Amino acid sequence: GDSVTQMEGPVTLSEEAFLTINCTYTATGYPSLFWYVQYPGEGLQLLLKATKADDKGSNKGFEATYRKETTSFHLEKGSVQVSDSAVYFCALSKRGGSNYKLTFGKGTLLTVNP
């Protein structure tokens, strides 16, 4: 079945450091890919998405590019802030009838220190 593998955390960085969180997927067909973020004490929210190969999703300084050849969707940010501390989830979705259920990775905890 479909699956998502993301780098295990926790990841601890200093403010203004470069961030990469690796994500690879296994799926038949052409899934859409997502990064969700969960800030402390808050619900899960969509950070960015890409729906086809070579698409780049971006939001709040974060970027990820849908690489079909390497089945990857790595999350990057050039300069992290303390406010980026959160759990990040990579996910995929494929249409099954009208069901767009999400398949998630296990999540990566990011802590950014001042």
Partner 1 sequence: GAGVSQSPSNKVTEKGKDVELRCDPISGHTALYWYRQRLGQGLEFLIYFQGNSAPDKSGLPSDRFSAERTGESVSTLTIQRTQQEDSAVYLCASSALQGAQLYEQYFGPGTRLTVT
27 binds partner 1 (CB under 8 A): no
Report d(CA 13, CA 106) in Å as an integer. 20
Report d(CA 113, CA 6) in Å as an integer. 22
Which of 19, 23, 32, 88 binds partner 1 (CB under 8 A)? It is: 32
Q: How far is the CB of 61 from partner 1 (least distance, A)?
A: 20
93 binds partner 1 (CB under 8 A): yes
Q: How far is the CB of 67 from partner 1 (least distance, A)?
A: 20
Report d(CA 46, CA 36) in Å as an integer. 4
* DSSP annotation of 63: E
Q: How far is the CB of 14 from partner 1 (least distance, A)?
A: 26
Report d(CA 114, CA 106) in Å as an integer. 26
The answer to whether 56 and 63 are in contact (CB under 8 A) is yes
Binding mask 42-81 for partner 1 (x = CB under 8 A): xxxxx--x-x------------------------------
95 binds partner 1 (CB under 8 A): yes
